[in-house]
Amino acid sequence: MASNDTDRVRAELEQPYDVVTRMFENLTVCGALNMLIRIGAMHKLPSDGTSIKAADLATAVNIDVTAIHRAMRVILVQGIATETGPDEYTHNQLSLALLPEAAGSFFLLCMDLSKTMGTLPEYFKTHAPEDLYDLTKSPFAFSVGKEGRSYYDVLNDDVDQRNIWNAALQLAEKNMPVRGMFPFESLKEQVEREPERAFVVDIGGGRGQSLLAIQKDCPGGFGGKLILQDLPIVIESLKPEEIPNIEATVHDLFTPQPVKNAHVYFFRRLLHDFYNPVCVEILKQTVSAMGPDSRLIVCDMLVPSRVTVGVPMQLYWLDLSLMLISGKEKTIEEFHEIFDAAGLELVKVYPSNVGETVMLETRLKRTE
């Protein structure tokens, strides 16, 4: 809250030149840190209480020492790493947290997307408006010279990049709420009465983080199955001990849902990866499997009708990033249209205490 207040005051006081320099300062910090991570310099900094001289660091990564001086100064002024003496450095808590095996994975993903943002002017000059909605003509595919393939097809070309993406998404997931919206625990009596029906089917559920969180309020799934569905590359990487009480199965969300009449079908942070017509196609595959009292719950962010100056930026930078890979955060009106086209109706919106994240409870459309 204090940070939001500070942003609002700054917006009132800053002059245009101040705004531009602040934006460029952020770009410079990102550029310096990206360079130092990718050339291996950040991994050469000691974390055992000793330090390394700039000249030795430059030799270790085979670049000119002045490049080390200049890049390190930029991150040091932001509190990333510690200068123990003139041109001599060591890790601190923040720099360790920004290594690729920690929050640095998310940072590197953001940097990759920022490269694509730099190509947006040329993309829009050379493409028809409708190309933006073509999965094989995304700005990302254009930026890397691989149009004709989707973002995820391109991503799978590079194992290292895919691993960075997986680590980044797992980190992001930890900062997105699951609990405190739809009351899964309220279905206890219903699930115990019909345990032969799956309790929750988590479509595209990654490494089971949502089902693990749901179990905190619903121990053992109240005797009903908790089913995790995702692609082979995800499911085959899971160990049983990582997903207790969860049945992991391979499923392509563009094919008919094999689990019939579950109590809940769950789509968390998935539909925002696609434009509206594709979302309708995806949902129809599950709608066909729903029973009369099945619930289909979507967890995503809602774009408000107007922008408020100084509010947290997460929703907006995420939405622009999704545009690069053929995705979109949506308004409540858009969700109404998607649900209606898929044969669903919205029952209730459950907000969270974190940003714009909500859960949308839907059911099969009732006929009058």
**287: CB partners within 8 A, 6+ apart:** 296, 342, 343, 344, 364
Angle between helical axes of 209-217 and 159-174 (0-180°, round to 10)? 20
3-class secondary structure, 106: helix
The amino acid at 299:
C
Are 290 and 323 contacting, i.e. CB atoms less than 8 angstroms apart? Answer: no
Question: Is 272 designated active site?
Answer: yes
Catalytic residue chosen out of the listed positions 69, 91, 272, 336: 272
**270: CB partners within 8 A, 6+ apart:** 203, 204, 253, 282, 300
Does an H or E element contain 5, and which?
Answer: helix 2-13
> Judging by beta carbons within 10 Å of its beta carbon (0-12, 13-18, 19+), is residue 94 exposed, middle or buried?
middle
**Which residue carries 């974390």 as its tokens?**
47
Which active-site residues does the annotation give?
Answer: 272
